[in-house]
Amino acid sequence: MGSALDPAFRLLQEHAHGFMVSQVLFAACELGLFDLLAEAPGPLDVAAISEGLGASPRGTELLLEACVPLRLLDVDTRGGTARYANSELARAYLTSRSPTGQRAMLRYLGSTTYRCWGHLADAVRQGSNQYQRAFGVPAGDLFSAIYRSPAERLQFTRGLQEIWSVDGRRVLTAFDLSPFHRICDLGGGAGALAQECACVYPGCHVTVLEVPEVVQTARAHLPLQTEGQVGFREGDFFEDPLPEADLYILARVLHDWSDEKCSRLLARVHHACRPGGGVLVVERVLDADGRGPLATLLGSLNMLLQAEGRERTAAQFRALLAAAGFGGFALRRTGGVHDAILATKALP
């Protein structure tokens, strides 16, 4: 009788093979597996799925078998033939028809982020992002590298929309934002979070400040559903005048940038902000000791690989905001992926 596997070795195996789990998910999304099953009248067998995907029966069967213990698919083996259907997770997050689907962001992770992570050791040695090694694209101008093609820009923008379809309302209701009538979402992509804000707070008007190519992408492919309450202004928040507002939203923005650039941006926001107004920072916030949560620590490594910033603790955010002139610092843990920080500009 064999002895039980050493728990430390088992953990090592799980860590070492974790990338394979990600690739099962990414491949299933790329092949269109979950949409195929969503459109079927009932569970499908391997032959029907392989034909529908235009994939080999052997490869399809192996992929399906791996998806079941990962809880991406359910399987029914009654009658001696395995038939597969989307799991609850897949129905909620992996099909095109789901309002909370995450396929664009998953495909971005699989095609772009994954390739950058192959150069993690180089990033640690150099202390810089890896767009040059992964894609041959110089990253001196960070978002020129991130938006390296129209297709890449559209996929990344759609991915952000998907994130806010799940986490947007949670971060926007962490504080009562109804006193703020004019809101500016800096770097707000195609306006997904701004539209959610307009729905939650019907008395507000939200201006999304974004670089021209993102605004053009949004207008061409991702039209607003709240015209009149949400609008765009083209501009660079480091260089161009900021729209005057009662509240500025910085959602998944500060983690992209170094402390020096964050300080410069926050000082510009404070200067533009109306007295009594404030700034809502939406980020993954590290624990006070900076040693967790694990997902946020991995997010910091991702910023090393793909940007120039990092995730931060509440104390670090407080220091950045205070140096820019903001007070009344408050952090709310939302229970979701992102947390919310509200800081205010004093009345004269």
Residues with catalytic function: 255
Q: Ramachandran region of residue 191, left (φ > 0), alpha (ψ -120 to 50) or beta?
A: left
The most distant pair of C-alpha atoms in the chain lies apart, rounded to whole Å, by 78
**Both structure tokens of 213:** 């190519």
| Cis amide leading into 293 (omega within 30) | yes
**Both structure tokens of 305:** 């690989």
CA distance 312 to 319: 11
CB 173 within 8 A of CB 113: no
Instruction: Name 231's Cβ contacts closer than 8 Å, sequence gap at least 6.
Output: 205, 206, 207, 208, 224
CA distance 110 to 20: 12
CA distance 41 to 297: 42
CB atoms within 10 A of CB 62: 13
**Both structure tokens of 258:** 């170094």
CA distance 189 to 237: 13
How far is C-alpha 345 from the geometric centre of its chain's CA atoms?
28
Which residues sit opposite 327 in a β-bridge? 344
SS3 310: coil
CB 236 within 8 A of CB 187: no
